[in-house]
Amino acid sequence: MDYQVFDTTLRDGAQREGISFSVADKLAVARLLDEFGVGFIEGGWPGAMPKDTEFFRRARTELDLKHAQLVAFGATRKAGTDVAVDPQIAALLDSEAPVVCLVAKSDIRHVERALRTTGDENLAMVRDSVAHFRAHGRRVFVDCEHFFDGFRFDPDYTASVVRAALDAGAERVVMCDTNGGMLPSRITAAIEDLTARLGIEADRLGIHCQNDTSCAVANTIAAVEAGVRHFQCTANGYGERPGNADLFAVVSNLQLKLGLPVLPDGCLEKAVRVAHGIAEIANIAPDTHQAYVGAAAFAHKAGLHASAIKVDPVLYNHVDPAVVGNDMRILVTEMAGRASIELKAKELGVDLAGQPEALSRVTKRVKELEADGWSFEAADASFELLVRSELPGAEPVRPFALESYRVIVEHREDGAVVSEATVKVRVGEQRVIATAEGNGPVNALDEALRQSLSAHYPALATFELADYKVRILEGSHGTSAVTRVLVGTKAAVDDGWTTVGVHENVVEASWHALVDALTYGVDHAV
Amino acid sequence: MDYQVFDTTLRDGAQREGISFSVADKLAVARLLDEFGVGFIEGGWPGAMPKDTEFFRRARTELDLKHAQLVAFGATRKAGTDVAVDPQIAALLDSEAPVVCLVAKSDIRHVERALRTTGDENLAMVRDSVAHFRAHGRRVFVDCEHFFDGFRFDPDYTASVVRAALDAGAERVVMCDTNGGMLPSRITAAIEDLTARLGIEADRLGIHCQNDTSCAVANTIAAVEAGVRHFQCTANGYGERPGNADLFAVVSNLQLKLGLPVLPDGCLEKAVRVAHGIAEIANIAPDTHQAYVGAAAFAHKAGLHASAIKVDPVLYNHVDPAVVGNDMRILVTEMAGRASIELKAKELGVDLAGQPEALSRVTKRVKELEADGWSFEAADASFELLVRSELPGAEPVRPFALESYRVIVEHREDGAVVSEATVKVRVGEQRVIATAEGNGPVNALDEALRQSLSAHYPALATFELADYKVRILEGSHGTSAVTRVLVGTKAAVDDGWTTVGVHENVVEASWHALVDALTYGVDHAV
């Protein structure tokens, strides 16, 4: 029977302090999750959150999901209200998501004190809401909020909520450890108790764990071991408070330790890339020490292990790092390994298989740059330029040479804030000076650079700066911080490409990324 | 019967990439661990590591431990060597630590391939070494390296290593999940199997888990539930690869969930302070999202909860945060409502309870600003200034008035990248012009602003820019993107405060955040 890998990065994960996804970010995360092969992507709460309403609207035309179905999250109807006229319910239908996941109160104390209604009305709310969506042809999951705490306090009531949801047509009823206080043995015991009380199989249930005891992953595994087949996770465990169960750890454990084929073939090895890609979009530094996907997850330090590892990696790695797209590091270094680089280059259309020296040069350059804070994970175009610059005959053409630039930002006495940039470049034989204004220093610089090149490269007129991300990276070993900039560029005939720049000065870092963006775009346009 | 809380931050935890404890650091960490009430502090490997030899030497006179005993870590004697002349063994005795913890190979494959000796010789190594230290009056623990992998591969051999250690006088034999690949249910099964085979009680055993499956805490709990009473952890889960079992999560779970009195009275509430203190010494940023002790561990967001929390905190916190020395924080978010804002203001010392009009004004302003991209979630200082600016009589004093500023970034012909800022301000009656350079446009602006104010506000000299974060936020409804900047400032007598600034221009956004930072700092300094 199938497992349901249900991801809620975009709904529950977004509750994490510091995360603020734009609609474009949400679409990008959804694409990555779909690549990773999850079965369900809970996209948000349409109606309640304007950005989420917009996400579901745009998803209809902009998301082409291969593995996942989109899920709209919401709540059961309001107490004392007819489900047919409840606006929150209507908004879920309007989202046109094929699946809805409804949160229902399942702890009688919350029903009485937070919702201020009766246990019976709450059951009616569950039944009416589930039936309503079933009648409209939606698949329905029900999230039993505070399930375990409620079940401990009043097991009969909580079990009756589960029964009501199942009887009304919910495909699965999810036991949510909303306060996150559970331990694995207690999860197992609760599932055994509940299934016995209701006379149901555990596969009618789902599990959703928060990480307040630092056991979310283990709790999720325990539930699956008890027969549950639907589990809710978030990428990198993002979520409120100590977060949610980490998708990558849960899936890797289930697939590699328990031998359960929870993802489609070929998906697990994308774990590192997807984990880091989502972190980039969320603008959160990836956790170096994260299980399976962290840069240091398989990095063995010196001492008892290092020399022996080379002889017998199996003796020291609990799994082969390659199965999650990671690799083993002996020295304290960054991520780049020859195999990853060769694979990545191939993905971008550059075949290094028969060119070991070029591969070595590229690997060395990537390592050096990564030590300085560069990261090519989310910057394919910069990576391609780097690889090709090491391949005689395939080097990209540099469209210009920089002489100098100057950027000025002024906050004037009248309160106006203005940005102006001047670039002096050499294009072929010609020296060009261009000045432009912008809504910020980098925008002004970008405008000035394009202006200086537009006569020579008409294709530039079709390029559009689509995305701009900045991250400040802590300096290592006492050096000062550096800034990493990612620039996304789109063109009329191209979905877009991303480039990177790193420097202690944000303007200079942006310059690098902009130059790579224009170089790549011009190179691909001819 | 007593539990043995065995901390190995200074030995195994120190393997974490990026940690490098000086001897003074180790002594400071040991004092904190002792305050927290652990029973054993594994201080290092004297003889093998010079800093550790020094640590044990200085500990004799400089450490006055109230709860813990110091443990010297080492290995069983070398194969084919008499224990009495083995220098590594002698160094452990020389350390004068009352307790020794010896790592022994317990996986026959490691015995044969890594040690290049026989299973029998390995057993003799274990017996001889344990007996030697017992004869010298030391308490002895034995760490069975790769226990679970070895036990799965050749259970008879691995069990014989445990037997040999116990028979020779080891107080407890520790099952180490060295590769970190275990899951809780497998820990339980292994313990049941081992104790049955050897006809021993589980309390003869200890547990040491690595976190490669993200289950180290849960695995440790499972072992204790199976009757094990000695467990090895590290502060904040520091360690190689994904680290070790987090001491604070393990102890909090055992004490608060399982009701086991593993620490002396009054110690658990020091968790937050000890966790953060050790992070400071290790020079690692505390994990905001760490269970129990993280700053966000009890921070509630979301419309579903915030208003209800006021009514009934018990319904939303899995434990009372105060028992670990933490507290509940309400996050001021996109979903800000009056209740969240009132709670937040109260947390910052501003009571809006009896001032509904002021609360309305503040709520309205927060919503307007948030719609423009402002976020006060991680910017308490800016939020406090905003709230007080709406309260007649409590308004913050503005230390200066801006006339104008100008920031220049140049990439010169010789390749040098320089940043320079000039500010013109009015401080009281005086007009001040200051110019400074920096490693980027914002750094230059910050330096110039401080320079302009330093004569009037000497306290500024103690402020230090500690953190700087930039996020580009997609414009909503077709408007262009805005930049949100968070600035963290520290002072000699203050842990630090965070401020925010939002504008389409990153320099102007930074300006706002810097001005708030200085305003708040000066206001609190008087």
- pLDDT, position B328: 72
Q: How confident is the model at residue A482 (pLDDT cuts 50, 70, 90)?
A: confident
User: ipTM value of the model?
Assistant: 0.75
Q: Measured between CB atoms, does A74 come within 8 Å of chain B? A: no
Q: What is the mean pLDDT of chain A?
A: 90
Which of A147, A212, A484 is the best substitution to test chain B (most B C-beta atoms within 10 A)?
A212
Mode of pairing for the β-strands spanning B99-105 and B69-75: parallel
Q: Could you give the percent of chain A with pLDDT greater than 70? A: 92
Burial classification of residue A387, based on how many CB atoms lie within 10 Å of its CB (0-12 exposed, 13-18 middle, 19 or more buried): buried
Question: Which residues between 263 and 282 in chain A have a beta carbon less than 8 angstroms from any beta carbon of chain B?
Answer: none
Burial classification of residue B87, based on how many CB atoms lie within 10 Å of its CB (0-12 exposed, 13-18 middle, 19 or more buried): exposed
- pLDDT, position A261: 95
CB contact under 8 A, B183 and A48: no
- pLDDT, position A85: 97
Q: Å from A464 to nearest chain B CA?
A: 13
For residues A421 and A424, what is the distance between their CA atoms, to the nearest angstrom?
10
Contact A206, A172 (CB under 8 A): yes
Q: Measured between CB atoms, does A117 come within 8 Å of chain B? A: no
CA distances from A301 to A338, B17, B278 (A): 20, 8, 21
Q: Measured between CB atoms, does A112 come within 8 Å of chain B? A: no
- pLDDT, position A131: 98
Q: What is the mean pLDDT of residues A261-282?
A: 93
Phi/psi-derived region of residue B99, left when phi > 0, alpha when psi is between -120 and 50, beta in every other case: beta
Considering only the beta carbons, identify the residue of B17, B218, B312 that sits closest to A332: B17
* Chain B neighbors of A452, CB-CB under 8 A: none
The distance between the two most distant Cα atoms of chain A, rounded to a whole number of Å, is: 84
Q: Å from A301 to nearest chain B CA?
A: 7
CB contact under 8 A, A183 and B411: no
DSSP conformation class of B210? B
CB contact under 8 A, B253 and A103: no
DSSP conformation class of A484? E
- pLDDT, position B219: 98
Q: Report which of residues A281 and B255 the model is more confident about.
A: B255
A293-339: pLDDT as tens digits = 998 898 765 433 444 555 577 777 888 887 887 776 543 333 345 66
Which of B289, B465, B504 is the best substitution to test chain A (most A C-beta atoms within 10 A)?
B289
Considering only alpha carbons, which residue of chain A is nearest residue B420?
A: A408
Q: Report which of residues A50 and A88 the model is more confident about.
A: A88
* Chain A neighbors of B408, CB-CB under 8 A: 406-408
Q: Measured between CB atoms, does B468 come within 8 Å of chain A? A: yes
Closest CA to A250 of A288, A194, A207, A285: A207
Which of B214, B257, B327 is the best substitution to test chain A (most A C-beta atoms within 10 A)?
B214
For residues A18 and A239, what is the distance between their CA atoms, to the nearest angstrom?
10
Q: Measured between CB atoms, does A403 come within 8 Å of chain B? A: yes
Q: What would you report as the CA-atom Rg of chain A, rounded to the nearest whole angstrom?
A: 26
The three-state (H, E, C) secondary structure of B242-270, written as one string: CCECEHHHHHHHHHHHCCCCCCCCCCHHH
- Would you state the structure tokens that stand for residue A267, as one six-digit string? 């998906």
* Chain A neighbors of B474, CB-CB under 8 A: 22-25
A205-239: pLDDT as tens digits = 999 999 999 999 999 999 999 999 999 999 999 99
Considering only alpha carbons, which residue of chain B is nearest residue A255?
A: B213
Considering only alpha carbons, which residue of chain B is nearest residue A252?
A: B213
The b-or-e profile of A27-45 (16+ CB within 10 A means b, else e) is bbbbbbbbbbbbbbbbbbb
Q: What is the mean pLDDT of residues A429-458?
A: 94
A93-133: pLDDT as tens digits = 999 999 999 999 999 999 999 889 999 999 999 999 999 99
- pLDDT, position A117: 96
- pLDDT, position A477: 40
Q: Is pLDDT above 90 for A352?
A: no
A124-154: pLDDT as tens digits = 999 999 999 999 999 999 999 999 999 999 9
DSSP conformation class of A1? -
Considering only alpha carbons, which residue of chain A is nearest residue B401?
A: A413
Q: Å from A8 to nearest chain B CA?
A: 15
| DSSP character string of A86-123 | -HHHHHHHHTT-SEEEEEEE-SHHHHHHTS-S-HHHHH
CA distances from A351 to A360, A522, A526 (A): 14, 22, 21
Contact A145, A103 (CB under 8 A): yes
Contact B101, B171 (CB under 8 A): no
* Chain B neighbors of A402, CB-CB under 8 A: 411
* Full pLDDT tens readout for chain B, 526 residues: 589 999 999 999 998 877 878 888 899 999 999 999 999 999 999 998 888 999 999 999 999 999 999 999 999 999 999 999 999 999 999 999 999 999 999 999 999 998 999 999 999 999 999 999 999 999 999 999 999 999 999 999 999 999 999 999 999 999 999 999 999 999 999 999 999 999 999 999 999 999 999 999 999 999 999 999 999 999 999 999 999 999 999 999 999 999 999 999 999 999 998 998 898 788 787 888 999 999 889 887 644 455 566 667 777 788 888 788 777 765 555 444 676 788 778 878 888 888 888 888 888 888 788 777 787 767 889 999 999 998 888 899 899 999 999 999 999 999 999 999 999 999 999 999 999 999 999 999 999 999 999 999 998 888 888 778 787 776 543 456 788 888 888 887 667 888 999 999 999 999 999 999 999 999 888 6
Question: How many residue pairs from chains A and B have C-beta atoms closer than 8 A?
Answer: 284
- Would you state the structure tokens that stand for residue B307, as one six-digit string? 């208003």
Closest CA to B237 of B188, B180, B190: B180
CB contact under 8 A, A217 and B222: no
Closest CA to B231 of B7, B2, B1: B7
Q: Give 3-state DSSP helix, strand, coil % of chain A, rounded to 5.
A: 45, 20, 35
Contact A259, B221 (CB under 8 A): no
CA distances from A341 to A338, A347, A376, A398 (A): 5, 10, 10, 23
Query: Does an H or E element contain A194, and which?
Result: helix A184-198
Contact A449, A434 (CB under 8 A): yes
- pLDDT, position A335: 37
For residues B449 and B389, what is the distance between their CA atoms, to the nearest angstrom?
22
Dihedral in degrees, nearest 10, Cα atoms A236, A227, A230, A274: 30
Question: Which residues between 288 and 307 in chain A have a beta carbon less than 8 angstroms from any beta carbon of chain B?
Answer: 288-292, 294, 296-301, 303-304
A339: number of CA atoms within 13 Å, CB side? 8
Q: For A270-274, A385-389, B200-204, B282-286, which range has the lowest pLDDT when averaged over its residues?
A: B282-286
Closest CA to B143 of B90, B107, B191, B97: B107
- pLDDT, position B330: 57
